[in-house]
Every structure is written in C-alpha cells, then in structure tokens.
Structure 1
Amino acid sequence: MTAATSEQSAPAMPSPGNWVRHAATVPETHAYPAVDELLASFRQLAAAHPGLVTESRIGTSTLGEPLYCFTVGEGPASLTTDGDGGYVVVGGVHPNEPVGAVTALHLATALCESPELRGHFGGAWHIVPCIDPDGARLNEGWFATPTDKRNYGRHFYRPAGNEQVEWTFPFAYKKAWFDRVLPETLALMRLLDATRPRFLTTLHNCEAGGVYYYMNRPAPELYGVLAEIPASLGMPLATGEPEAAHAPVYSPAVYGCIDMKDAYDYLEGLGVDAAAKIAGSSSAAYAERYGTFYFVTEVPHWSHPDADDNTPIERRHADVVRGRARALGEAGAFLGGILDAANPHLTIRSPFLRAVREFVPSLTELATMESARADELPDRPATVSERFDCEAGVHSLRVRFGGMLLRALNAEVVAGTATPEVRRCHRELLETYETWERAAGPVTGDPIAISTLAGIQYGALLAAADHARALDITGDPG
C-alpha cells in the first residue's frame, strides 16, 4: 500500500524455501486500500523499479474501467509472447474479499526488492491487483474500518452469481451451457492464454473461523507447510463443515477445487435443477488446458477458537446441520417476504437489488439441500468446529444478504423514489437486521490483523508456487 497506510517497514526477507518465515514479513496496516490507492501503489513500485515492473492493460470492466496487470521479472516482459510458463496472481475476483490486495502488493514489492526471490522462481510474475474494480468500489465503505462488523455488513456487496468474475468462465455439462462471459472474465482468459502459467492463484478470503485451502490436484508434500504457516502466526485451520460438500478432502483444511461438474452432479443427486443453478466455470477449470497448478488460500476476517476444535459435543452431527437448515429457512422466508412486498415498487435496478433477487431465494433452497444432506449423514456426534461453522455460516449469510437488501431499499429512499410500502419494508428490515447484527458479533469472533491474514496468504502462495516450479508443466493446451 501507499506510505499513508503502511506503518512500518517489512521485516528482513527470509531465504527462499523458508516459506513459513515469509508469512511474518507483511508490514502492519489497519485498512484495506481503495481501488485508486491500490493502483497508485503499484505504479509507485513500477516507477521505483522501471527495469523490473511492466504495466499492461488486459481489458475493460463492465462499467468501462481499464483492467491492469503488473508483470515483475528480469528483462523485457510482454503478455503477447507465446506463453512464458510463469506465475499468475489475481486479486479482487470477489470484490468483498480485499485481503488479496495487500498480499498482491507485498508480493510485488518483495519480488522487486529480492533478487534471490526472483531468481529462485526463475520466471515472470503477472499480478492483477483488482480484476473487479466496479464491485470493489461498492465495498470501499468498510475497507477503512475492517474491524467494525456493523460497518462491514451495511457496506457489503457481492455480485449475483452471473456477475462474479470467478464463476463466469465458459461451461458446458449435461443440460448446463454458459457462455455469457463478463468483460473481466474475458480479460483473465486472455491473460491465461498469453502466459500459459505453471502456477495460478486467485486471492480470496472468508469471514469467520480458520484458514483453509483449495488446489486442483493433490500435493501431499505441501500439506505440512500449509498447516505450519497459519500456526506460526497463531491462526487455526478450519476443520469443521466444508464450504462445498462435494469438494474432495485431501488433508485437514485442504480441499480439491470446487468443480462445477461435481457441483452439477451433487445438486442433481439432491433433486435440484442443477442447470438452473449453475452459471459458469472457474479460472481453475479454464487453466487446466495448460497444466497449470491452481491454488487458493482462504483466510478469515475474524477468528474463533472453535474453528479447529474437534472435540465431540452432545448433539448429533445431523441435528446440528438440521438446525442450520431451519435457521436458513427462517432467514430466507423473512427476507423473501420483505423483497416480495417491496418488489412491485422498486424503480432502481441497482447491483444490490440484482444480487438479492438471486441470493435471497437461495437461502430457502440451501435450507432444503442441507436438510437432505442431514438425512444422509452418519449417526455420530458433531464436533465443536462443525457446530461453529453451522452457526457462523447462518450469521454470515443473514448479515450479507440482509445488508444488501437494506442498501437496495435505501437507494430508493435516498433517491426520493421510495413509496410508503418501500419505506415500511425498510423500517421492518432494519429492525430485524439490528437484532441479527447483535447476535452475529460474539459468534463470528475477534478481528485479525491484516498483516497476519495477508502474511498467511503470501507465505502459502509462495510455497504452492515453489511446488508448481518443480512440476513438469509443458504449457501446451490439452
């Protein structure tokens, strides 16, 4: 980040290979950078290292904003060559997940300042600071105060599924067909086609709990260091309920990628119209044609000791999941009632409204799927971490979707287009939402230093990139 947000110099750079120690090198900061600030920081770095950093435009956002990639490497760097087998790092694929902005800038800075680090990897690093600036700007209201949970919920934005960069790559499977590729997604496709990278990471973060990982193929030699990196900074692994029930488990808190073909089969098995629920595929699936090793580190804003507590509790696992299903169903029914009542009177097709029109109905659908999953679970006690994930997940979705619905209704109020019914819905939602805010606070846990979150992500991506460096990857389309 710029000098205004970075409060101290990074610790001395450890030697390449000691990836655990690299996690402690991110400088302290108390805010996430806004889009303009982030790009300015990258340009300052490029100006300070003109022989190492090259700025390239790779596309245009939906609202017309240029999209940039900064390539760090020795000698002339170009995105028009026939693939360099290097490393691609993409921030902001989900605009409500800003940890990656800090990680990406620290990575670029470290590469510029350490010839030893550059030499170890022996290839160019193509770093996209923010691939969805349109969405990121709608979250900037909480970036300056990330520990304020109330501010977070009321300024939260996550696009509807067919507007998310990460999930709008081309997809065709059974009855599903998707080719409505976003401009931002097209920019990433071009970048991957140009570089044919041996390593790709998209920078994500979650909300509460512990650290977990995704990769597109097993890598047993990585599992130990991936557990050690968060432990070195006092962070637990997330060992409770998985984010996606159909993702393979390679090791505690290490999962195979969320694959849309697997998701389709899983939903189909539950009796759901999978083709209607799945949009596109992911960057991981697109990069498979080049043999790319894909890797993700998920770090939480807030942590709780229950996240990795595998102590059995008195309640059965299936009953804990059913409790989650009931709570999701109740939230979906309430928010759905508000949305249905307000809908005929809404005149502003804001991004918030587009998002809640998709997400609110998904709560009741998710409740149905969770109930069906509970019926198939083995009869055993739940663990503390499983109970935590079920409860924290409900709080997260209520705060997220309720907050976006508040923003959609408030857009009408501020614009002077709100009818009495819209104002009534706004008041009713606000009253319930305030109770949800109070309930979520203690459950989601304590805020974590941004330097810790970015440090874990940074150390883990270096370890994974080092693994990819040693793989036999041709870079040829498959």
Structure 2
Amino acid sequence: MDRRPRDARLRQVGTSRAGLPLRLLSVGHGSRQVLVVAGPHANEPVGGATVLRLAERVLADPRLCDGADVTWNLLLCLDPDGSRRNEGWLSGPYTLGHHFRHFFRPGFMEQPEWLPDGAEGATLPETRTLLALQDELRPFLQCSLHGVDVGGGFVELTRDLPGLAPRLAHIATRLDIPLELGPYDTLYWPTLGPAVYRIPPPRRGDLAAAITEAAVESTWFHPHPYGTVTAVVEAPMWGVTAVQDASVPADAEETLRGVSRTLRRDTALLEELLARIRPYLGTAGDVDRLLAPVDDYVLVCPGLADSWDPDTGPGTDVDGGARPLPPLTTARLTALRISARRIALRTAGLLHQLVTASGHDPSGATADLDRLVDAWCADYHDGHGARWIPVARQAEYQARVVLAAFDLARRPGPASGRGARQLGAPPVRTEVPFE
C-alpha cells in the first residue's frame, strides 16, 4: 500500500464488539466490484494471509484490476475479537493438541455471517458492517474465506460457476491439497462437480439445523438480488488423503454405526465433565463466551448421532419429510468420522480452557481432558494420517481458487450479474510459480 498509494487504499468500515477496527483494503479503480471476506470464523485464520497475497497479485497484474474494470475490496478480518482468542496456537507449534487446547470459535449466535433473524434483525456490529458493504458495493463476486481444521478443500457456491470444478482439481493437484468429495458441511447439498457444492436457498428451521447445516439466512445470500455469486472457499490446515476417495466400502453401514456409537460415547463423557466443571466456573463474561459454543456442540451431538445411525432411521428435513443420507463413499464416511471427532475435540479444548481460566480444578477434570484430547488427536494422526499443510501453501491454494472463481464470474452469463465482462476479454492466468 505504501508503494502504490493511489491503487491501494485502506479505510475503516466498522468496529467490532470489543472496539477493534474492521478495515477494508481496496485495490484498483474499476466500476465493478469484488468483495473478499477474511476471518468470518475466528478459528480459520488462513484468509488473512490469502487477502494479502491477493492484493499483491492484483497489483502486479493489470488484467485482474483496471484492465478488467474491477475494484477488489478485501475485508481483512470480519471477527477480530474471536481471532485474537486463537492467538494461543497461531504462532505454533502446529500440532493438533496445541491447536485444540487453544481453539476458540464463538457460539452460533455470535458468528457474524449468520442472519438467524434476517438482515433487519442483525445485531452484531460486524454483521451490520458486512451487510452495509454488500449494499454499498453490490459485488458481482463475493468470496468468503474459510478453513478446514482436518480434512480437505472444497468450494460452496450460491450460483453455479461452470468450469470451476476442473480448475479446482488442477490447483489442488499442483499444490498437493486433498479435495473433499463428501464434506459434512454439504451432506444434503447438491453437487456441482467434484468438491464443488451449491448452497441451497436459506430456510427457516430450528437452532440445531441452523448450527449443523447453515439452514438459515446468511450474508452469503444477502447480495443475491444484486446478481452476486458467493463462493465459500475452504482450505485445509491438516490434510487427509481419504476425503478424496470415491470408492464404496463393503462395510459402509457398519462403519456408520461405529461413528454414531463413538459420537454418543464421546458426548456422554463430555457432558459428565461439563457437569463436574460448571459449578466452579462463576459467571464472568469470558466464561459465558467459552460456554456458548460448548452448549451448542452438546445440543447438536445426539441428533447428529441419530441421523447418521442406520438403525435409527434417516434424518428429517425442516418440513418433517424423510431425508436419507447420500451414497456412503469412503470419502463421505471419512468426512463423517472426522466431523464427529472434531465436535468432541473442540468441546474438550474449550472445557480445558474453562478449567484453566477458572484457576482451580477441584473436580480433577484437567487430567481427564488432557487424556481425551491426546487420544482423539492421536486418532487423527494414526487413524486418518492427518498431515500439516504449511500456511504459505494454504494461502496460495485459496488465492488461486479465488482467482479462478473471479475469472469465471466475470464472464457473460446468467450467474455473472453486473460483473459480465466484455466479449473477447482474455482469460486470467490464475497460477504463478509457487513461492
């Protein structure tokens, strides 16, 4: 920005609940707008590195900016308050145990992308800031930058971008990033291509459905009337090869029963620990913020276990109709196993922080929590072969996917809205030698 003050401008567009500035970096002077949102989930930090990489890339290539009549608007972090709570693991060491013992993600009602009461009922200042930006910019493309703690990469779209799936596969292969062919997040969503999924229109449902399926109004869909296509770009921190295995195992139903049994057992252990810990926690604000996501996870676990278990019948949709699971490939079963373990690990990590913050442990819960966290992280390592992906490679993967989505969204077509480019404009080269 100091080198190119005319082409890169930084301005404060809002303030977080704790008084931290929400800053927007705008690059270029085009009449058409791209909005990229980093840090919507506090525990998914890669987007902060990605937006800086995108800014450098856009400044270096006129075809991405003024040559395409485009301004790039990069929101540097949507939830800086929550992100600060993850600083305990951000500087390393990058081990699963260190990560989950210092993990923080706010409760569902404090996550700024969600609109459970609609845009008019939004109360979080971070949410209102993002809504105002969307209404001001009316972007033809919005990218929300997310991270997967354990698993693989994938993309979720509010509208199809034909051609994205092969580009995604090429980028992932070049950078050795596994792609999720059946992520838990998209369990009941339409598939647009390998590792590319369509986000269904928002619908009203109960809180458990909103937490587990994003079945709620969101800032992903708020700019939809402007012709915006939103791409949610997920980049993994620890990669697991099996999430891209499309084979069908012979014992799929028995594996699924095992996943459900394990989730029920782990939930019972965590509920017992929570009951031991809760009387000693007090009512300080920090305790409330750590307890909110714990209560969310404990709320949804029994329903998840039942919906996955072949012996308890299929899940139901918000209208009460039967909703059977999609075909049980190795990739999908792996994703479900990882997700069940993720919920338990996150809960255990937050409980560990609650005990630590209280300053005393009369119930002796710390040792039990340490044992659970160590055992469950070992399962990720030994049972799934989870491997750390360097931050630079995570950010490069995410940046290339954003640029691929940009190249497709700016082309003329029903999904491009105000961003249709002129016929004959050359495609953007989205790959550079990896640094």
Under a length normalisation based on structure 2, what TM-score does the superposition of the two structures give? 0.85
Counterpart among 340, 350, 353 of residue 407 in structure 1: 353
Aligned pairs for 1:202-221 within 5 A: 202-221=144-163
Quick one: which amino acid aligns to residue 71 of structure 1? Answer: S
The answer as to whether partners of 2:277 and 2:365 remain within 8 angstroms in 1 is yes
Q: Distance in 2 between matches of 1:320 and 1:186?
A: 44
Structure 1 residue ranges without an equivalent (≥5) = 1-45, 76-83, 173-177
Counterpart among 296, 302, 305 of residue 358 in structure 1: 296
Q: Closer, same or farther in 2 for the Cα pair 1:373/1:254, shift >3 Å?
A: farther
Q: Closer, same or farther in 2 for the Cα pair 1:361/1:237, shift >3 Å?
A: same
Counterpart among 31, 35, 43 of residue 88 in structure 1: 35
SS of 1:312's partner is: coil
Paired positions, count: 403
Could you tell me which residue of structure 2 aligns to residue 152 of structure 1?
99
Counterpart among 284, 291, 308 of residue 227 in structure 2: 291
The answer as to whether partners of 1:392 and 1:444 remain within 8 angstroms in 2 is no
Could you tell me which residue of structure 2 aligns to residue 119 of structure 1?
66
Report deviation, 1:300: 1.0
Q: Closer, same or farther in 2 for the Cα pair 1:129/1:169, shift >3 Å?
A: farther
Quick one: which amino acid aligns to residue 359 of structure 1? Answer: Y
Q: Closer, same or farther in 2 for the Cα pair 1:119/1:128, shift >3 Å?
A: same
Could you tell me which residue of structure 2 aligns to residue 302 of structure 1?
238
Indicate the RMSD between aligned Cα atoms, in angstroms: 2.7
Name whichever of 367-376 and 389-398 sits farther off.
367-376
Aligned pairs for 1:9-408 within 5 A: 46-74=1-29, 84-145=31-92, 147-168=94-115, 170-171=117-118, 179-257=121-199, 259-261=201-203, 264=205, 281-316=217-252, 318-347=253-282, 348-350=284-286, 351-371=289-309, 375-376=313-314, 382-408=328-354
The answer as to whether partners of 2:161 and 2:409 remain within 8 angstroms in 1 is no
Could you tell me which residue of structure 2 aligns to residue 427 of structure 1?
367
Q: Distance in 2 between matches of 1:254 and 1:327?
A: 29
Q: Closer, same or farther in 2 for the Cα pair 1:151/1:201, shift >3 Å?
A: same
Q: Closer, same or farther in 2 for the Cα pair 1:455/1:273, shift >3 Å?
A: closer
Quick one: which amino acid aligns to residue 283 of structure 1? Answer: T
Q: Closer, same or farther in 2 for the Cα pair 1:102/1:244, shift >3 Å?
A: same
Deviations 1:328-379 (A, max 9, x none): 1111111111112322332134221222122223222321232379734889
Quick one: which amino acid aligns to residue 447 of structure 1? Answer: W
Counterpart among 410, 415, 436 of residue 376 in structure 2: 436
Q: Distance in 2 between matches of 1:134 and 1:378?
A: 39
Q: Closer, same or farther in 2 for the Cα pair 1:274/1:398, shift >3 Å?
A: closer
Could you tell me which residue of structure 2 aligns to residue 449 of structure 1?
390
Q: Closer, same or farther in 2 for the Cα pair 1:197/1:380, shift >3 Å?
A: closer
Structure 2 residue ranges without an equivalent (≥5) = 315-322, 420-435
Report deviation, 1:48: 1.8
Q: Closer, same or farther in 2 for the Cα pair 1:255/1:306, shift >3 Å?
A: same
Counterpart among 445, 458, 469 of residue 399 in structure 2: 458
Q: Distance in 1 between matches of 2:245 and 2:405?
A: 26
The answer as to whether partners of 1:162 and 1:280 remain within 8 angstroms in 2 is no
The answer as to whether partners of 1:207 and 1:300 remain within 8 angstroms in 2 is yes
Q: Closer, same or farther in 2 for the Cα pair 1:250/1:455, shift >3 Å?
A: same
Q: Distance in 1 between matches of 2:77 and 2:290?
A: 20
Deviations 1:276-334 (A, max 9, x none): 98795221111112110111221211112212122332203x33333222211111111
Q: Distance in 1 between matches of 2:381 and 2:132?
A: 42
Give the percent of matched residue pairs that are identical in Structure 1 and Structure 2. 30
Under a length normalisation based on structure 1, what TM-score does the superposition of the two structures give? 0.77
SS of 1:158's partner is: coil
Q: Distance in 1 between matches of 2:198 and 2:392?
A: 27
SS of 2:260's partner is: helix
2:415 is the alignment partner of 1:468: no
Q: Distance in 1 between matches of 2:183 and 2:15?
A: 37
